[in-house]
Amino acid sequence: MPRYLGFLFALLLVAAGVQASDSPDPAYLDELLRQAIELRLSDAREWHLLLHYRENLWGGFTSEADGQPFFLASNGKTDPAAELEATLRKLFTDELVGRTAQDTQCAFPARYHWLKAVLAIDDRRLLPKPCVRFADWLSALNPEGVTLIFPSAFMNNPSSMFGHLLLRIDQKGQTDQTRILAYTINYAAEITTSNGFTYAYMGMTGGFKGYFSTMPYYLKVQEYRDFESRDIWEYRLNFTQDQVLQMLRHAWELGNTYFDYFYFKENCSYHILSLLEVADPRLHLTDEFIVWTIPTDAIRLITGQPGLVGDRVFRPSLTSQIEGRNATLSHDERGWLGRIVKDPSVAQAEEFRRLALDRQAFVLDVAAHYLRYLGLSDERHAASARDRYRAVLVARSALRVQPAAVVIPPLSEAPEKGHLARRVGVGFGWRQDEFFEEINLRPAYHDLLDPEIGYTPDAQIEFLAAKLRHYERHDQFRLERLAIVDIISLSPMDSLFKRPSWKVGLTWETVRREGCRYCGNLNFNVGPGIAIETRWVRREVYFAFAELDANYSHAFEENHRVGGGGTVGLLADLTERWKILLSATYLTYPLGEHSDNTKLSFQQRFTLSKDWTLRLELNHLERQDNEALITVQAFF
C-alpha cells in the first residue's frame, strides 16, 4: 500500500467528523485493559492460537514459539495474560517491536485485528497505522483463497520421507493454468550441518530452527515435481475471505520468531495446521497429534472436516509424466524413443517419418521430457542431455500437430484414502519348540506388506515398531523385537530409469544360540540394491541387496560379529487384497565371532478392510531357529 494512503485515510476520518488524536489517550488504555480482564481474553482460544500456547502437563501454558522478539512481555512465553496486557500497552506507544522492528499494529497485525474486533477499539482514540510493508506484501499476494499442498514422500531425503505440507495463496482472477504463479507459505528447518548423524540427532531433538517463508509456487513445483520427482496433491480449502486474511496476518507476524524444529512432532505439517486453526479457530487440528505429526495423517484429518475441502487436483511429477506416456507407446515406438534419446538426428530418418504425424509428435514429446529429466538429475552428463533436449525440441517444433492428451494417473490413490499410520496387531505362533502369543505396536508408519493405497509404492518406513511375546512353556514375557528405524526403498529399474534401491535398519531383536535360549541382540544393517518390475501375474518386484551387517550381543563370542552378504526377494501383488513377500539372506561374519547365517522368510498379507489386515509369516531365522506366526492387525 503506498505511503500516501495513510495520509488519505487520516483526511477521510477528519472529513467524516472523526477527531483523530496523534497522542493515544492513557485513560482509553486503562479502559481497554479493564475490558480485556472482564472478558477474560487471555483465556480465549483465539489468543492462545495467535501466541501458540500449549497447556503444560502440570498446569499453566508455554508458547511453542521460541524467538524472544515474538513476545512483548518479558514473561510472555509462559503467561498469556501478561502478553495480552503488554500487547495492549505497546499499541499505545510508538515503540518499534519484534524482529522486524515495526509499530505494534504492523508487526503483529493478527493480534491487533482480533483485539480491535473483540474490544471494539475506537479508531478515534487509537489511530490505525498504515503499515506500508505489510500492505505491500498483502497486495503482492492478492489473496482470494488458499490451497493445501502435499508433495508426496521423497525417500532420498530424510526430512521428506513422510511427505510435506505447505500452503498456496490463490490470487484473485487466477485460472487453473495460472495458479502456478501464486505464492506459497512454507515452514521448514534451517539446516546447519551436512553430517548425517548430526542431522538426525538435531532433527529429533529440536536442534534446528524452523522458519516460515513465502516464495513463488512455481519454484516449489520445480523443486518437488522436477528435481525430486514427487507427485503433488492440491486441496482447495473453503475459507472465507476474512479467514484467509486473518491467516495471512498471522503468517506475517510469524516473521518475528522461529520454532525449534522437531522432525517427528513440531514439523511442517504441525505448524501448517496451526495456521489453519488461526484462520478458523473452530478447527482443532494440532490437538490430534501428541507424539507424531505425519503429513498423510494431517491430510486425512483435514479432508475429514465437513465442508472444509473443495476441489482436489493431482500434479504428476516429471518421472510420472514420462512413465505414464512411455506406457502408451507401442514396442516399435519405444525403440524409436531409445534411439532418439541417444541421437536426436534419428528423428529425421525416413523410417521414423513414416509414422503418423501425431505419433511422431508424441514420441518426441516423451523424448523431450526424458532428456529434460536427465539434464536435471545426471550432473555428469547434464550438458550433453541439455544439448540433445534442445535438438529434440527443434525437431518437435517442425511438426505442427498436437498429439492427443494423455491423462497421467497417480502411482497411488490420494493420501487420505490410505490406512492410518499407527498399527497394532494381536497374534499367536510357534517358535522352534514352544507356542507364544504376540502383541505388536508400530507408531509409524508403513511397511512393504501394508496396503499401498495412498502411500509411495515399494517403500517401507518404520519407527519404534515393537513386538511383545508371551512364551507358554516357561510362562515368560519378553520384548521380542524393537525396530528403532527400518527403512527400505525399492525403485524398479527400466529402460529409462536406473534408480538404485537401498535399505537401512537399526533393531533390537532376540537370537537363539547354544547356551542362550533367547538373548537380546542389537543389529545394524545397511546396503544398496537393485529392483525390477514385471506384470506376469499382476505386479511383481524382484529385488537384491548387498548388505553390511553388524551385531552386538552376549550370545556371540567377543560379544559381537560384523560381516556382510546379500538378500534376494520377491514382492508380489497376487490380487487386489493379497500380497506376498519372499526373501532369502546369506550373511558371513569375519569379524568378532566367525560364523555365517542363512535367513528365509515367506510372508503374506490379506486385506480385510482399509484399516484391518490378516498376516501369515513363516521364518527361518538362524540355524535351527524357525517360527510361524499369524496376526490380525488394525491401523489407527
Whole-Å CA distances, 297 to 84, 360, 487, 539: 34, 44, 19, 27
The pTM (predicted TM-score) of the whole model is 0.88
Residue pair 141/183 in contact (Cβ under 8 Å)? The answer is yes
Residue pair 273/294 in contact (Cβ under 8 Å)? The answer is no
Burial class of residue 106 (count of CB atoms within 10 Å of its CB; 0-12, 13-18, 19+): buried
Whole-Å CA distances, 109 to 274, 369, 454, 622: 17, 45, 39, 65
For residue range 586-634, list pLDDT tens digits in order. 999 999 999 999 999 999 999 999 899 999 999 998 877 899 999 999 9
**Alpha-carbon gap, residue 626 to 609, rounded angstroms:** 30
Note the residue count of the chain: 636
Residue pair 610/616 in contact (Cβ under 8 Å)? The answer is no
Start and end residues for every CATH 2.40.160.40 domain found in the chain: 418-635
CA atoms within 13 A on the CB side of 579: 22
The pLDDT score that the predictor gives to residue 34 is 97
Q: How confident is the model at residue 1 (pLDDT cuts 50, 70, 90)?
A: very low
User: 171 - beta bridge partners?
Assistant: 143
The pLDDT score that the predictor gives to residue 575 is 94
Predicted confidence (pLDDT) at residue 385 exceeds the cutoff of 80: yes
Domain at 418-635: CATH architecture = Beta Barrel (2.40)
CA dihedral 7, 13, 16, 20 (to 10 degrees): -130
Residue pair 106/131 in contact (Cβ under 8 Å)? The answer is yes
**Alpha-carbon gap, residue 268 to 168, rounded angstroms:** 14
* Identity of residue 225: R
Whole-Å CA distances, 206 to 31, 55, 190, 264, 372: 42, 19, 11, 10, 38
What are residue 355's phi and psi, to 5 degrees? -65, 155
Q: How confident is the model at residue 378 (pLDDT cuts 50, 70, 90)?
A: confident
For residue range 150-172, list pLDDT tens digits in order. 999 888 776 678 889 999 999 99
Q: How confident is the model at residue 495 (pLDDT cuts 50, 70, 90)?
A: confident
Predicted confidence (pLDDT) at residue 409 exceeds the cutoff of 90: no
User: 522 - beta bridge partners?
Assistant: 508, 552
CA dihedral 69, 72, 78, 82 (to 10 degrees): 180
**Alpha-carbon gap, residue 520 to 559, rounded angstroms:** 11
SS3 per residue for 560-578: EEEEEEEEEEEEEECCCCE
**Alpha-carbon gap, residue 328 to 409, rounded angstroms:** 12
The pLDDT score that the predictor gives to residue 23 is 66
The pLDDT score that the predictor gives to residue 7 is 38
For residue range 193-239, list pLDDT tens digits in order. 888 788 888 988 999 999 999 999 999 999 998 888 899 999 999 99
Of the two residues 10 and 326, the one the predictor is more confident about is: 326
**Alpha-carbon gap, residue 54 to 18, rounded angstroms:** 41
